[in-house]
Amino acid sequence: MPTINVQLFEGRTLEQKRAFVKAVTEATVATLGSSAESVDILITELKREDWATGGVLWSEKE
């Protein structure tokens, strides 16, 4: 069973998440040949202050 972990900045709507998991599930089924029922997607939402790139917090890049 494929399990896909996704980390995103918080703020996406429920509709965006629904569309995202539907598209990722469809792509997983098409490319890996698994059933949709076996695809698990875990979404972790993070605050910009909890993520850094190049030594700089994203909350400070705005």
46 vs 44: CA distance, rounded Å: 6
Judge whether 2 counts as a catalytic residue. yes
pTM of structure: 0.87
Tell me the C-alpha to C-alpha distance, in Å, between residue 62 and each of 8, 18, 19, 29, 48: 16, 27, 27, 37, 10
Exposure string of 17-48, with b = 16+ CB inside 10 Å and e = fewer, is eeeebeebbeebbeeeeeeeeebebeeeeeee
Catalytic residue among 2, 8, 29, 58: 2
CB 16 within 8 A of CB 52: no
- pLDDT tens per residue across all 62 residues of the chain: 899 999 999 999 999 999 999 999 999 999 999 999 999 999 999 999 999 999 999 999 96
**Would you list the domain boundaries of the chain?**
3-60
**CATH assignment of 3-60?**
3.30.429.10
